[in-house]
Amino acid sequence: MKYKVVGLGLVAFAIAGCAGKEEREIASGSFEYLEAAQHKSLDVPEDFDSPNYSQRYILPDVGENAPKDLKGKKLKVTPPSLILPLVAGTHVEEGSEDAKVLFDQVNDNEPLQKTVWDTVLTYLEKSSVGVEKFEKENNILVTDWVTEIREVPSSWYDFTDNLVTVKKKFKFTMTLAPHGRTAALRTELVDYVDEQGRAALDQVDLISKRTAESNFLNNVITEYDFGIRLANTQRIAKIRQGFNTDMGFDADGNPAFVVDAVYENTWPRLLLVLRKMGFDVKDLDQSTGLLFVQYNGIESSWWSGLFGSEDKLDIEKNEYRLQLGGVGEKTTVTFMDNESKPFDAKRITKIFAPFKDFMGNEDLDI
């Protein structure tokens, strides 16, 4: 008899644990409050004074646009999904009710508008979702059908998979700030087909609609994060590999080194090269490309014997200045004395060979 009691308990536990998703989204307990009616106010005889009523617990009137049928089992108790601005350069507006995220400019190599739209298109392509309409000039994109497969709750003893398919379409709208360095991307559910194949957008409750919009936008944010990390990884790999350098001239016609790399990649590589060449950086300003350095003597290296027995550059131990300038896909590096007078061709040629080797050395310890 004891075993029977335990067996019934396990069955009851199994049944309780098989509650469907819909059941978990509604309030549990009694819904008798739906039958409640407004109580009649207290009747006070004319010869008596009316008591003072507290206004503390009076419920506000329901707004004209508020849904009137969200009550009882139709009222979901699950909170709406949140937008997750977990990527550097993303944030949300406090109190915003839209599924919207704001992107700040983090890559100056291309316009922010292009970066965001490329991210959206990349995510859609990876998810095998087509594009129904893309008005780039109006910053509007509407997806094709996004298919979602759901599991329908069944009896606890039914071990077969009951799957249904619903379809959704989303609209992306981008709003650019006047300065062009911040873009707000908003996602909206614009079409919905239920498991019966019927258009049922007007049947989607507010919480479900917001959840669908937020989840879809969060996937785009995740793709944006992946793109940034991938770009950084590729950039670091390029910097590690080194860059070719030739002799040439800067924008002012002064003799200079011409590095075969964009400014953003040349700058960190140069800081490492200068340290290896015996320079200490005393001050720098990446926005203007100016560095103030002190030459203290070059470090011992495997190639020092190739350029003489003494482990030093053919310049005096003194203070110098370097000026970097971006020229398309290349960067010029102009060496100057401590009074900003550029090196002449003869003087800069003396340090070209070690500079070229360090800039192009793939084994540079960084």
Torsion, Cα of 292, 295, 300, 301 (10° steps): 50
Do residues 194 and 200 make contact, with C-beta atoms less than 8 angstroms apart?
A: yes
pLDDT at 121 over 90: yes
**Structural domain contains residue 19:** no
Write down the residue that tokens 């700030």 correspond to.
Answer: 177
Give per-residue pLDDT as tens, 307-355.
443 446 788 899 999 999 999 899 999 999 999 999 999 999 989 998 9
pLDDT value at position 3? Answer: 44
CATH number at residue 182: 3.30.530.50
272 and 171 in one domain? no
Specify the number of domains making up the chain. Answer: 2
pLDDT value at position 303? Answer: 47
Using the 3D structure, point to which of 238, 264, 279 is the last residue of a domain.
238
345 and 287 in one domain? yes
Give per-residue pLDDT as tens, 6-51.
444 444 434 444 555 566 677 777 888 888 777 777 788 888 888 8
CATH number at residue 313: 3.30.310.170
307 and 232 in one domain? no
249 and 230 in one domain? no
Q: Is pLDDT larger for residue 361 or for residue 254? A: 254
3-state secondary structure of 133: strand
**Structural domain contains residue 23:** no
213 and 94 in one domain? yes
321 and 265 in one domain? yes
pLDDT value at position 366? Answer: 53
86 and 232 in one domain? yes
Torsion, Cα of 207, 209, 215, 216 (10° steps): -170
Mean pLDDT of 204-225: 90
Tokens of 361: 């050395």
261 and 333 in one domain? yes
Alpha-carbon gap, residue 364 to 236, rounded angstroms: 13
Q: Which helix (H) or strand (E) holds 251?
A: none
DSSP code per residue over 146-183: EEEEEEPP--TT--S--EEEEEEEEEEEEEE-TTSSEE
**Structural domain contains residue 30:** no
Alpha-carbon gap, residue 74 to 98, rounded angstroms: 22
CB atoms near residue 210 (< 10 Å): 20
204 and 89 in one domain? yes
212 and 294 in one domain? no
**Structural domain contains residue 193:** yes
Alpha-carbon gap, residue 57 to 51, rounded angstroms: 16
**Structural domain contains residue 51:** no
pLDDT at 299 over 50: yes
pTM given for the model: 0.61
Q: Is pLDDT larger for residue 155 or for residue 281? A: 281
Question: In one letter, which amino acid is 59?
Answer: L
Helix crossing, 206-241 with 112-126: angle to 10°? Answer: 110
Angle at 314 between CA 366 and CA 363, to 5 degrees: 20
Q: Which domain holds residue 153?
A: 72-238
Task: Tell me the percentage of the chain whose pLDDT exceeds 90.
Answer: 39
**Structural domain contains residue 31:** no
Using the 3D structure, point to which of 238, 266, 288 is the last residue of a domain.
238
133 and 255 in one domain? no
Select from 354, 251, 356 the least CA-distant residue to 302: 354
215: exposed, middle or buried (Cβ count in 10 Å: 0-12, 13-18, 19+):
middle
229 and 85 in one domain? yes
